[in-house]
Structure 1
Amino acid sequence: MPAQTLGHKSSAPRHDMSVILVTGSYDHEIRFWEAWSGICSRTITRSGESGQINRLAISPDKRLLAAAIHKKVNIYDIASASSTPLVSFDGQNGHKNNVTSVSFHSEGKWLVTGSEDGTIKIWDLRSGQLHRNYDNGAPVNDVVVHPNQGELISCDQAGSIKQWDLSENICTHELTPAGDIPIRSVTLASDGSCLVAGNNKGKCYVWRVNEESSHLPRFQAVTKFQAHNKYLTRCLLSPDTKFLATCSADTTVKIWSVSHNFEFKLEKVLQGHQRWVWDCAFSADSAYLVTASSDHTARLWEMASGETVRQYNGHHKAAVCCALHDGAS
């Protein structure tokens, strides 16, 4: 029987963990949602603990939730009802400023974090220890793990995009597409063929990513386009690499189709949020998109129609991050 995805509505019981949808807010709460009913099934209240939630990530096996909370990262057990984290990455080896990005390595043994303190850290989830530290030299806004699992791509406040080699422990490539205009978000195609970066001025830059062995430039600039006229907060390629979603301070999410020769065409403008849209996440089949907004809500959009099919109400401050995992674990 195929794994249930968002594309297959079912009357599964409440304990069904096939679709995991999580949001984080400036109200300091992390909420788990039943995707189709819109019911909040669990709240991690974090009572007595300060710090806003910046980013969320779900491990590939759906066991763990990583939450970037101010300067630290908490790891929660998704199947548990406890609000106590399994482990926290902080203290002496931890980040010294806001953690802005969290990503799991595909095997789920490592967690990658980036921070405004100018460092990228790799944590060993088995031992709970810091495994590696990269000095980026400028506040880090986003980090993604390359599908080959051997490299990281980061972007920063100084306008740089860097590729870090996990085996050599070094920065192997650096791009500065718009001088010192901060790069807010980076996203890699699931097959590693394409890199998109969005900056603070709402502009997107696209590179073809060539194999290191191809004798071609690793990053080949192919196009750039003005996605929004205001601040861009997130850009994300869909799992099937056919679409790019861009979120913005202009309250919209734009959906761009991606052709095989890297032409980006505006397909839909998702309208409904009342304030800044901070984050988004695709379903495994690329048919749905979840978004989080300063209007305190998250929304589930159907890509085919561009309509909101569910709204998630419960946060009482800005919802700034979301994570969705509805694929096979």
Structure 2
Amino acid sequence: MAAPVEVVLSADSAGQLFNCAVFDPHSGSEFLSYRGGNTSSRSLTVLNGEYILGAQLGKNFINVWEIQRKDQLQQKIVCPGTVTCLCASPDGLCVLAGIAEAIYLWEMSTGNLLAILSRHYQDVSCIQFTDDSSHFVSGGKDNLALIWNLSSVVQLDSSRAPEPRHILSRHSLPITDLHCGLMGPQARVATASLDQTVKVWEISSGEMLLSVLFDVGIMSVTFDPCEYFLFCGGSDGNIFQVSLCSTSLNHDKTFQTDSDGNQVFKGHRNLVTCLSVSMDGTLLLSGSNDETVRMWDVQSKQCIWSINHKGPVTNAAIIPAPANMFLVDSHPAVPLPRFSRHLNPSEQGDGTGSGGMCLRLGANTQELDGTYLEKADELYSLMCAVTDKNRFHLQMTTRIPPSGLVELLLAVLQRSGWEESMAVLCQGWEDAGLLDLLKVQGCSSWGPSHWHLRAALNLSHSTPHMANISDFLSEHFNQDHSPPASVLLFGADPECASSVLRSAHDLGLTLPTVHWIMGHPLSPDALHSIGLPLGLLAYGEVDRKPLDYYIRDALQLVNRAVTAATVVRPDLALIQNMVNCFDKPNKHELPSSGQYIAR
């Protein structure tokens, strides 16, 4: 049997049969179950497709299972307090946990505690990352929802506590659930509250776009992937479908059925605790305190199947099926580290621990005392202290002018004794005269032994070919004289950078013979995902991506919308004609293909 594309992951508060289980979204048949303990509400998450993490109900630890080893509990992570909500970032680099009124942020590669955020005044009830892991949103019993920028949260400056990007304070009672849509920092987030309202906000501006008033308190909320509908789970067991494509300009609405596509799913006998929609938008999953999980057909509003649990359902979600889930012999690529309980690693008494280091220069870098030369001295001394070739990242949270980058780069090259380098310009690189500045300042300020740029390969305006890259590297590393000690790799496209590194690996150009220096604007998130060599000194700009990344995201979103539309009405997807998607629909005429797909 072929592995499914999506699976249902659910858990209940009793834990008699299992802690959590995996089901087929189409038939409801059970695939796998994970035993040991029981999981609290909004505290079940999948980490990087390799681990399942679930916060133990009423306890101060997190249960961990390797995703392909279903029968036994693998690990317990002790936390500073009882975990009220838990979420792993989509890129698998971080984990967030709400503990009382504070938010704890851990780095998964090291287990280090990066930040403790104490801006809520009562317990944190829910938390979620955006799909690109750049932001996260937290909701609490203090009626507040906070939007956080991840790169600002992990800044090194300990004199200033991290501040949320936006504070959403329009709810009058505790927030029960929230859901982030697609498109990263340009996404929308929906918040549900006991004040009987659901509000939709824009993450980038913090502006409220819509508020819908219901007759009951709302316990759960979610979008469909195209954000055509908003689904809200009520305390009376009903699920309310709100159309987000209404032509009305009023931001405050009262829910009414049979109005502008608003509908109600009826079947649960108690409050609806969790909601999730399939990636094609045709299936809606719901969990309830009536101890059932139900799958609904969105178009017909009919229940397809129902699964009985032994206790109130605390977590239920439709997730992409991880590749390792059905491979018994597979193992996680990286073992899960022990989570730190202190911000300062020295307080743990673990000595050097993992040995990894990360130097982050914050947004106020230019205000600090000391020159780039002094920072390079500190950086080089830290590099020399690494004895086991750990990865080393130099992360910048603000853009500096090319002259400042050249000064810092030359200082590092000088301290390393590298007198010659080559440059490879990958796609996404915006030439601001950096190489020219490197040539000029390298020859003028190096002293008795000048730094020299031997050659440059420009891949920024063409698709990289492995043969061309291999020929270039072979030519300049197989000459009679000694090869250059460093290769400057500039660019923001991970695939292009990965092609260069793969070619170098095939040629045997590994550390310490060759040192790779990554130039901006390649983000640290991308550095973790393209298989970089150990011992790397990396420079990246955190908060910046090239425009083509957003264009790709937009095209992908349009493709998902059209795909979902064709699944529901394939007859209207065959012929497309030009229409105005803002035209008000006429109930007495059949929609054309273009009108259907546009809406």
- CA deviation digits over 1:58-97, x for unaligned, max 9? x9931x322120053331321574665731422xxx24x7
Counterpart mapping for 1:159-170 below 5 A: 159-170=101-112
Give the distance between the partners of 1:99 and 1:267, measured in 2 at CA: 28
Q: Which runs of 5+ in 2 are unaligned?
A: 247-252, 254-259, 282-319, 321-599
> Structure 1 residues 311, 175: CA separation in 2 closer, same or farther (over 3 Å shift)?
same
Residue 227 of structure 1 deviates from its aligned partner by 3.0
Matched, 1:111 2:64: no
- CA deviation digits over 1:275-317, x for unaligned, max 9? 2211112222233222211121112222232755332101112
Give the distance between the partners of 1:164 and 1:225, measured in 2 at CA: 25
Matched, 1:69 2:12: yes
1:303 aligned partner: 244
Pick aligned residue for 1:245 from 190, 200, 210: 190
Q: Which amino acid aligns with 1:321?
A: C
Do the aligned residues in 1 keep the contact of 2:40 with 2:84 (CA within 8 Å)? no
Task: Find the residue that maps to 1:130 and give its secondary structure.
Answer: coil
Residue 271 of structure 1 deviates from its aligned partner by 2.8
Do the aligned residues in 2 keep the contact of 1:230 with 1:248 (CA within 8 Å)? yes
Matched, 1:175 2:117: yes
Give the distance between the partners of 1:256 and 1:99, measured in 2 at CA: 24
Do the aligned residues in 1 keep the contact of 2:130 with 2:180 (CA within 8 Å)? yes
Matched, 1:196 2:141: no
Do the aligned residues in 2 keep the contact of 1:210 with 1:220 (CA within 8 Å)? no
| TM-score between the two structures when normalised by the length of structure 2 | 0.40
Give the distance between the partners of 1:86 and 1:112, measured in 2 at CA: 15
Do the aligned residues in 1 keep the contact of 2:202 with 2:208 (CA within 8 Å)? yes
> Structure 1 residues 151, 216: CA separation in 2 closer, same or farther (over 3 Å shift)?
same
2:418 aligned partner: none
1:120 aligned partner: 62
2:24 aligned partner: 78
Give the distance between the partners of 1:200 and 1:84, measured in 2 at CA: 35
> Structure 1 residues 308, 199: CA separation in 2 closer, same or farther (over 3 Å shift)?
farther
Q: Which amino acid aligns with 1:66?
A: L
Matched, 1:290 2:228: no
Matched, 1:231 2:177: no
Give the distance between the partners of 1:119 and 1:308, measured in 2 at CA: 44
Give the distance between the partners of 2:4 and 2:27, measured in 1 at CA: 20
Task: Find the residue that maps to 1:210 and give its secondary structure.
Answer: helix
Residue 238 of structure 1 deviates from its aligned partner by 1.3
> Structure 1 residues 150, 133: CA separation in 2 closer, same or farther (over 3 Å shift)?
farther
> Structure 1 residues 207, 216: CA separation in 2 closer, same or farther (over 3 Å shift)?
farther
Task: Find the residue that maps to 1:326 and give its secondary structure.
Answer: coil
Q: Which amino acid aligns with 1:244?
A: V
Give the distance between the partners of 2:41 and 2:89, measured in 1 at CA: 20
Do the aligned residues in 2 keep the contact of 1:257 with 1:267 (CA within 8 Å)? yes
Do the aligned residues in 1 keep the contact of 2:179 with 2:189 (CA within 8 Å)? yes
1:318 aligned partner: 271
Give the distance between the partners of 2:11 and 2:208, measured in 1 at CA: 32
Task: Find the residue that maps to 1:295 and give its secondary structure.
Answer: coil
Indicate the structure with greater helix content: 2
1:32 aligned partner: none
| TM-score between the two structures when normalised by the length of structure 1 | 0.69
Residue 139 of structure 1 deviates from its aligned partner by 2.3
Matched, 1:187 2:128: yes
- CA deviation digits over 1:174-218, x for unaligned, max 9? 111135x11111122222222221110211222221189986789
Pick aligned residue for 2:203 from 247, 254, 258: 258
Do the aligned residues in 1 keep the contact of 2:115 with 2:153 (CA within 8 Å)? no
Q: How many percent identity over aligned positions?
A: 16
Give the distance between the partners of 2:261 and 2:82, measured in 1 at CA: 35
> Structure 1 residues 187, 308: CA separation in 2 closer, same or farther (over 3 Å shift)?
farther
Give the distance between the partners of 1:221 and 1:327, measured in 2 at CA: 33
> Structure 1 residues 88, 130: CA separation in 2 closer, same or farther (over 3 Å shift)?
closer
Q: How well do the aligned residues superpose, as a CA RMSD in angstroms?
A: 3.0
> Structure 1 residues 299, 138: CA separation in 2 closer, same or farther (over 3 Å shift)?
same
Matched, 1:270 2:212: yes
> Structure 1 residues 99, 224: CA separation in 2 closer, same or farther (over 3 Å shift)?
closer
- CA deviation digits over 1:26-48, x for unaligned, max 9? xxxxxxxxxxxxxxxxxxxxxxx
RCO greater where, 1 or 2, for CA within 8 Å and sep 6 or more? 1
Give the distance between the partners of 2:4 and 2:52, measured in 1 at CA: 11
Residue 253 of structure 1 deviates from its aligned partner by 0.6
> Structure 1 residues 133, 150: CA separation in 2 closer, same or farther (over 3 Å shift)?
farther
Give the distance between the partners of 2:219 and 2:138, measured in 1 at CA: 15
Matched, 1:134 2:77: yes
